[in-house]
Structure 1
Amino acid sequence: MIRTALTGLLGVEHPIVGFNRSPAVVVEVSRAGGFGVLAAVSYTAAELDAQLHWISEQLDGRPYGVDLLVPERTADVDADREDLVAALRAQLPPGHLAFVDDLLERYGIPKVPADPGRDAIAAGMSRRGADAQLDVVFAHRPALVANALGTAPPHLVERAHAAGTAVAALVGTRRHAERQLAAGVDVLVAQGTEAGGHTGTIATTVLTPEIVGVAGDRPVLAAGGIASGDQMAAALALGAAGVWCGSVWLSSVEDVAPESVKRKFLAAGSGDTVRSPARTGKPARQLRSAYHDAWDAPGAPAPLPMPLQPLLTLQAWSSIDAAADAGNPGAQELQSFFVGQVVGAFTELRGAGEITRTMARDCEARIAALSGLVRDGAAR
C-alpha cells in the first residue's frame, strides 16, 4: 500500500484520481480504492444533481470529487443561461456557420435536431449559472472540488472550505501554480502537454518537479502521459503525491464515449493526437481526424475563441457521433474526442476498477524493484 499526502487528505487507499464524465467510471474508481472525480461541464444543474445522487448512493460513504469550469470572471452577472447562450450565438460569424455546414455536407453527415440543453459549456459563464452548479455540488458535500478554468475564484474556495471540501486546480506552468496557491487551493494538478483536453506545452516530467518545488506542504498530482503503474511510479519519483488520470478511462467499458470512437482509440498510436483549438477555441489535445485537417486547410476560417467555438461546433459533433455509430464512413473519418498521448497504449477495453487496481499493483511492484537497485554502504 502506498501512503502519501493525497491518500491522507482524501481518505483513500491508492493515490490515483480518476477524472471522467461517466458517473459509472467515478464509482468504479472509488470502489477500487482510488478517487473518482466527475467531469461536470456537460451537465445542467438538474442533471448534475441527479448524477451526484446516484454516485453517492452507489459509493455508500466512499469519497469522490467533482470537476467544474468556474471562471474567475463571469460574462454577465445578471443574465439567465438561455439569454447568455442566445447572445453568444448571435456573435457566430455567417462564414463560420457556412464552413461547418459545408463540412457536414461534404462528408455526408445528416444533421441531428438541435438540443438547447447541450449548450452546457455556457452554463457556467454567468455568475448565476456557475452558482447554480455550485449549489448542487455543495449540497452533496464531495470530498474535493476541482476547477479547470483559470484561477479558482474566491467564492468557490470560500464555499468549499466552509463545507469542509478540498479545492484542486489544474496548472500548466509555475506561474499558474503560484496564482492558485495565492487563491488558497489545497491540491495542485501539474498537467503536462501529453494530457488529453486543454493543456499547455510543458512535458509532465519537466512540469511536475517545478510545481512540487513551489507547492510547499500542499499535495501535487502529476497528470498527462500516465496510464500504467510504471508511469505512476515515475510520477511519485518526481515528488508527486499521486496521479490525476483522465485519458486511460476512455479505454474502460464504463466510459460513455461512442463505441465507434473507442474503436478508433484502440487502433491509434501515441503520435495520432493533435493539440488544436478547432473544437473548443482553446488548444486541446484530441485524436487527430479529418475534422482537424479541414480546419487546418488553406482558406479555412480561424477557430473562434471560447465559448463561441463550442457553440459553433456542438451540434455538428452530435451529428458526427450519431452518424459514426450508425456506420457512416464519412462520419468515422471526422470522428474524434479529447485524449492524451497514452492512447497508443490502449489495446482492449477493461473495467475502470480493474484499471485502478492494476495501476496500483504495478506501481508498488515497480517501486519495490527500484528499491532493490539501492545498496547501503556496507554492501558495496
Structure 2
Amino acid sequence: MRTALTDMLGVDFPLVAFSHCRDVVAAVTNSGGFGMLGAVRFTPDQLDEELSWLDAVTHGRPYGVDVLIPTQLAGRDEGLSADETAARVPAEHVEFARDLLLRYGVIGNGDDFQLRPAAAVQYEEENVKALLDVAFSHPVKLVASALGVPSPELVARAKSGGVPIAALVGKVEHARRQAAAGVDLIVAQGHEAGGHTGEITTMVLTPQVTDAVAPIPVLAAGGIADGRQIAAAIALGAAGVWTGSVWLMTEESETDAAVREKFAAASSADTMRSRVRTGKLARQLRSSWHDEWESAGSPGALPMPLMEMISDSAFQKIGQAAAAGSPEAYSLQSYFVGQVVGMLGSVRPAAEVVYAMIESYIEAVARLTEISADN
C-alpha cells in the first residue's frame, strides 16, 4: 500500500505506533509499520541507550522519536528550577494526596509523601534540547512535537538533517499554525484518543485538517485499533494513522499487569478526560483516584507540571501496592488510554496486532469495492 506517509517514512503500511516501550517500537517497525518512541520520561543518557538498542534490532528499518514541548507550563516564564517549581505546590494538595494514599492503604501512618520534581525537569528547555541532540545523533526518520508548536530552531535543525518533523493538533486553527511553522506531517488527534486531547472527534477533525493544510500529509489519531478504522481514516483524506492505546495491550508494552487487567474489563464508557493526572485535560481510565480528586472535598487539580509532581509520585506507590495484591490500590490504578479500550480484548504480541490490522484493512477495502461494483 502506498500513501504520502509510506513514501515519506519508507514503510510498507501507513501505520505509526506511539509507545513509551522500545520493544513495541521495534516490533511494529520490524512488521512493516513505523514505531514512534515517546522520549519524555527518559534522561538523555537513557534515551541514547534506548535508541542504540533500536538501531541494533531494527537493522536499518525506520523509527522515530516523540518529545513533549508544552507551550504553557507553570514556572517556565519565571525561569524557576524544578525544586523552585515544586515549592509552588500548595501544602493542602500534598496533604490531600497523602491522606488519600493512607486511606487506601497504599502508605502507612508513619510514611511520608514526597513530590517528584523530575516531572518538571523533563519539560525544561535544556533537557528537551538534550533529548533532541540524542535523537538526531541516531538515524531517526521522524521527530514529533506534542502540546505546542515546535521552535524555529527545531524545525530548521530537522530539515537540515533531512528528518521530517510532525506535530499533534486537536483543532483546525492549531493545524494551520503548525503548517505555518513548517512541519512536514500533521497528526489530527480526536477527542476519543488517549492522553492529551481536545474537544473534536477524529471523524470530524480529520477531513477539516486535511482540507486546511493540503498538501501537507495528515494522520488520523484517536479511536483507531483495527483495519476498519484505518480504512475510514484513509477515506477521510488521511495519509495514514497514528495509534497509541492499542499497543498498551501487547505483550511487549510497559503496562502494569493490574492496568492490563482493568483495560481488559473496561468498556469505552470507562474513560474520562481529567486534569488530575498531568494538570492538562487528558483521557485516561477512570478509577478511584479520579473520583477522589474530582470530589467536593478535593482541593482540585493544579496546572502542569505541579499536578504531575503529585501524581507521578503517588502512582509509583499505587503501582507497587497493586502489584503486591492490595485491592484498594488496584481501585486507584489507572493509565492514559482512549475510548478504544472497549475493543482491545486480550494481550497479544505487537506484530500480531500489526498483521491483524493489515488483514482487516484489506477486508474493509474489499467490502467497499464490492459495494462500488454492485452499484
TM-score range, shorter chain: over 0.9
Q: CA deviation at 1:130?
A: 1.7
Indicate the residue corresponding to 2:231 in structure 1: 233
**Which of 135, 138, 142 is the aligned partner of 1:140?**
138
Q: Structure 2 unaligned segments of length 5 or more: list them.
A: none
The letter for the 1-side match of 2:160 is A
**Which of 285, 296, 299 is the aligned partner of 2:297?**
299
- 1:91 lines up with 2:98 in the alignment: no
Alignment of 1:93-172 (within 5 A): 93-110=90-107, 119-172=117-170
Q: CA 1:315 to 1:69, structure 2 compared with 1: closer, same or farther past 3 Å? A: same
Q: CA deviation at 1:70?
A: 2.2
- 1:336 lines up with 2:334 in the alignment: yes
Q: CA 1:167 to 1:115, structure 2 compared with 1: closer, same or farther past 3 Å? A: farther
Asked if the contact 2:94–2:113 (Cα under 8 Å) also holds between the matched residues in 1, the reply is no
Structure 2 CA distance, aligned partners of 1:113 and 1:101? 8
Indicate the residue corresponding to 2:317 in structure 1: 319
Q: CA deviation at 1:127?
A: 2.3
Structure 1 CA distance, aligned partners of 2:247 and 2:121? 26
Indicate the residue corresponding to 1:276 in structure 2: 274
Indicate the residue corresponding to 1:62 in structure 2: 61
Q: CA deviation at 1:129?
A: 1.6
Q: CA deviation at 1:168?
A: 0.5
Asked if the contact 1:70–1:124 (Cα under 8 Å) also holds between the matched residues in 2, the reply is no
Q: Structure 1 unaligned segments of length 5 or more: list them.
A: none
Superposition RMSD in Å: 1.9
- 1:13 lines up with 2:26 in the alignment: no
> What SS does the aligned partner of 2:132 have?
helix
Q: CA deviation at 1:77?
A: 9.5
Asked if the contact 2:190–2:199 (Cα under 8 Å) also holds between the matched residues in 1, the reply is yes
Q: CA deviation at 1:29?
A: 0.3
Alignment of 1:196-211 (within 5 A): 196-211=194-209
Indicate the residue corresponding to 2:52 in structure 1: 53
Structure 2 CA distance, aligned partners of 1:48 and 1:158? 22
Alignment of 1:337-376 (within 5 A): 337-375=335-373
Indicate the residue corresponding to 1:178 in structure 2: 176
Structure 2 CA distance, aligned partners of 1:113 and 1:160? 45
Structure 1 CA distance, aligned partners of 2:71 and 2:296? 36
Structure 2 CA distance, aligned partners of 1:277 and 1:78? 23
TM-score for both structures, normalised by structure 1: 0.94
Q: CA 1:101 to 1:78, structure 2 compared with 1: closer, same or farther past 3 Å? A: closer
Identity of aligned residues (%): 48
Q: CA deviation at 1:217?
A: 1.4
Structure 2 CA distance, aligned partners of 1:121 and 1:147? 18
- Displacement over 6 Å in runs of 4+: 111-116
Asked if the contact 2:227–2:361 (Cα under 8 Å) also holds between the matched residues in 1, the reply is yes
Structure 1 CA distance, aligned partners of 2:317 and 2:264? 22
> What SS does the aligned partner of 2:372 have?
coil
> What SS does the aligned partner of 1:374 have?
helix
Q: How many residues align?
A: 372
1:25-78, CA deviations, whole angstroms, 9 ceiling, x for partnerless residues?
000000000000001111111111110110111101000000001245886699
The letter for the 2-side match of 1:104 is L
Asked if the contact 1:49–1:136 (Cα under 8 Å) also holds between the matched residues in 2, the reply is yes
Indicate the residue corresponding to 2:27 in structure 1: 28
Structure 2 CA distance, aligned partners of 1:115 and 1:298? 24
Q: CA deviation at 1:214?
A: 1.0
